[in-house]
Structure 1
Amino acid sequence: MTKGLLHHVEIYVSDLKKSTDFWGWFLGELGYSAFQKWDGGQSWKLEDTYIVFVQTEERFLDIPYHRCRVGLNHLAFHVDSRQHVDEMTKTLNNKGINILYKDKHPARGEDYYALYFEDPDRIKVELVAP
């Protein structure tokens, strides 16, 4: 049954090349496959859900994204293990990707182990392990 599950998420980005380089390897790590590609965008799919990245028109680039404004704050993804979170942390560090809240990394709770980082447009991304 798919009722209530997300069908897709579409995100406009400032630099499609940078975003698809970032999201392509990251989503691949989570099991997504390339799905659609056209001059102004690209998507990746996992089962019945896909994520789309579209190049923002130049006339709209003067207002940069900020996750604390009205709109999307972050995307959070499940992973299978705390080890996967730790491996992704190393990979992100090696790629020079900004890890957020380093003083509290990894975020921990009784049933929570998470990593927070930013994509090229500074959209916060979260990985959550049980």
Structure 2
Amino acid sequence: MAGLHHVELWVADLAAARAEWGWLLERLGWTFDGSWAEGSTWVAGETYLTITTSPNLRGDVHDRRTPGLNHLAFHGGARGEVDALMSEAAEHGWRPLYADRYPHAGGPDHYAGWLENSAGFKAEVVAR
């Protein structure tokens, strides 16, 4: 029973989210599973991630610094794969965070890159 079943991210700008999250997820080996007018889904194993918009949104700005979800962390493969992804990210709407401490912003034994997209969502890509 352990494991994560799915994550649903509500976004204000669906087109930008589809482009940015779609690139990141597919770059990390997730498979596009389909879309509809209000969203899209990607799958990795038995876990899926949905990007969607809703008429029930309160506001149009995501702030990862308020109570709630701060970031999602993904397996990024080998160190070279994380490095390659980090070098491509800006071309796909993601900006690096903690670039002055990359790849050890999480400590000397933690090899990872942190990214933030145009809506302020944060993703961590961790090397094995």
Assess same fold via TM > 0.5.
Answer: yes
Give 1:98-117 correspondences, 5 Å limit.
98-107=95-104, 109=107, 111-117=109-115
Q: Deviation at 1:107?
A: 1.9
Task: Indicate which of 61, 74, 79 corresponds to 1:77.
Answer: 74
Stretches of structure 2 that go unaligned for 5 or more consecutive residues are none
Partner of 1:92: 89
Output the aligned Cα RMSD. Answer: 1.8
Give 1:24-103 correspondences, 5 Å limit.
24-57=22-55, 60-62=58-60, 64-95=61-92, 97-103=94-100
Task: Indicate which of 10, 13, 17 corresponds to 1:12.
Answer: 10
Which amino acid letter does the alignment assign opposite residue 38 of structure 1? W
Kindly indicate whether residue 116 of structure 2 is the aligned counterpart of residue 118 of structure 1: yes
Task: Indicate which of 20, 23, 29 corresponds to 1:22.
Answer: 20
Which amino acid letter does the alignment assign opposite residue 70 of structure 1? P
Q: 1:89 to 1:39 in 2, by over 3 A?
A: same
Stretches of structure 1 that go unaligned for 5 or more consecutive residues are none
Structure 1 runs, 4 residues or longer, greater than 4 Å off: none
Q: Deviation at 1:96?
A: 5.5
TM, length-normalised to structure 1: 0.88
Which amino acid letter does the alignment assign opposite residue 77 of structure 2? D
d(CA) in 2 for partners of 1:81, 1:119: 23
Which amino acid letter does the alignment assign opposite residue 41 of structure 2? S
Secondary structure of residue in 2 paired with 1:112: coil
Q: 1:59 to 1:79 in 2, by over 3 A?
A: closer
Q: Percent identity?
A: 36
d(CA) in 2 for partners of 1:77, 1:31: 10
